[in-house]
Amino acid sequence: MSGTPSGQQPDHEPTAAARAELIRQIRAGGHLGDPRWRAAFQEVPRHLFVPYYFVATPRGYERLSGSDPDPARRARWLEGVYTDGALATYMRDGELVSTSSQPSLMAIMLEELRVEEIEAAKEARETGEAEKQPSDTGCRVLEIGTGTGYNAALLSHRLGAEHVTTVDLDEEITGPARDRLAAAGHRPTVVTGDGARGCPERAPYDRIIATCALPAVPPAWIAQSAPGALILAPLATGLIALRVTDPDAVRAEGRFLATPAYFVPLRARPDPTAQLPHSDPTAQPPHPDAPEQPGPPAECGGRHRSRHHLPREALRDDRFHFLRTLTADTLTPQEAHTLWHQQNRPPRERFGVTVHGTGQYAWLDSPEGPHRWVLPGS
């Protein structure tokens, strides 16, 4: 197959069969119902974007590669690539820096971008059912966290590469991703820079999607959005979907999806004038073998740390860990547990976020309700 990494490569049929099985599993989970996203997953080869990855072992990390001379190890590599799991793809000094996201979670996020709204508006304009608009009517997307380039390739397949901009902090990541995208026949705009600052040169955007965990939503993303744009980003072990109501005033609001999401944190170049984001000393980092889907940590701390006064059922419940993370700068663990119990263990979709100017707060059930908390790092 053209564009595959050098060295020994999987045969076409095993690769095609593995890809088809992965898509079958994702569809069995209720996703990829849209034939256009399904075609993207069918036609964009994940193995091209993950020529190697790392797995955790008792002795450290093992590197599996598609160019390994050992056929058995190549088979293990291919099996991992087309398993529905996240892969550790870039390590620096023993630290996990970048991953290839779990394909089913990628499918969820891409579907939740609702790009069909933009496509429907374009079709209405072309058929004269709406007022004439500017000539560029494609859905313009900004991706924060290029990683391997696989997600950018899926976006490019569906929307056209000319409408896709993707940003990552290091040239060591963006350079190989750019090459892999070109080998797959896609040439979106790949930018090496601070994702928290977006990419104003390519703004405004109709959709912004982040593949890295945030303490709060960077105001630059909202300011670079078109009115009515959608921002989808990992926040507090969940996925927040924000509608931009006023880019000039930096206003947006939305709810969390039901889906849990654990991602590698957003890395940004330090700003000496900015306050440091909140850091939870007891939070566990994602496991490198499954960086987006670990269980909740065995204990939850915060600004008033307590390890022994909370019921075990709460400490083991992912919904409580979400609430603790979301309210870490405002509620003590005991206060969070009281709320969690009183509100009947609320799931993620009962929570939302409002961005108003330079302030950001999370809320339960309603932005005007009694339960609101300033976001850590906002």
CA atoms within 13 A on the CB side of 78: 25
The number of beta carbons lying within 10 Å of the beta carbon of residue 7 is 12
Kindly give, in sequence order, each residue whose CB lies less than 8 Å from that of residue 257, ignoring residues fewer than 6 positions away: 108, 112, 238, 239, 240, 241, 348, 349
pLDDT in the model for residue 255:
98
pLDDT in the model for residue 315:
87
Peptide bond into 219 cis (omega under 30): no
C-beta pairs of 308-316 under 8 Å, 24+ apart in sequence = 309/333, 309/334, 310/334, 310/337, 311/337, 314/340, 314/341
pLDDT in the model for residue 169:
95
pLDDT in the model for residue 14:
74
Q: Give the tokens for residue 142.
A: 């900004």
Contact 158, 138 (CB under 8 A): no
6 classed as catalytic: no
Helices (H), 160-225: 171-183, 219-223
Kindly give, in sequence order, each residue whose CB lies less than 8 Å from that of residue 305, ignoring residues fewer than 6 positions away: 281, 282, 333
Are β-strands 87-92 and 164-168 bridged in parallel, bridged antiparallel, or unpaired? unpaired
List Cα–Cα distances, 173 to 99, 143, 230, in angstroms.
11, 14, 26
pLDDT in the model for residue 290:
36
Q: Measure the CA angle with vertex 36, ends 33 and 42; round to 5°.
A: 90
| Residue ranges covered by each domain of the chain | 12-104, 114-256, 312-374
- Cα end-to-end distance, the chain, whole Å: 47
Q: What is the mean pLDDT, run by run of 10 residues, along the chain of 378 residues?
A: 41 77 96 96 96 92 95 95 96 90 97 91 67 64 98 97 97 97 98 97 98 94 97 97 97 97 83 38 34 36 50 90 92 94 96 92 96 86
Q: Which amino acid is at 4?
A: T
Task: Give 244's strand partners.
Answer: 252
Kindly give, in sequence order, each residue whose CB lies less than 8 Å from that of residue 220, ignoring residues fewer than 6 positions away: 196, 197, 198, 200
What is the second-level CATH architecture of the domain 114-256?
3-Layer(aba) Sandwich (3.40)
Q: Helix, strand or coil for residue 191?
A: strand
Q: Which candidate in 101, 104, 225, 378 is catalytic? A: 101
The span from the CA of 190 to the CA of 228, in Å, is 25
The span from the CA of 178 to the CA of 95, in Å, is 23
Helices (H), the chain: 12-28, 35-43, 46-49, 71-81, 103-112, 116-126, 150-159, 171-183, 219-223, 312-315, 318-326, 333-342
pLDDT in the model for residue 8:
40
Nearest-10 Cα torsion for 98, 49, 28, 286: -10
Cα 23 → chain centroid: 19
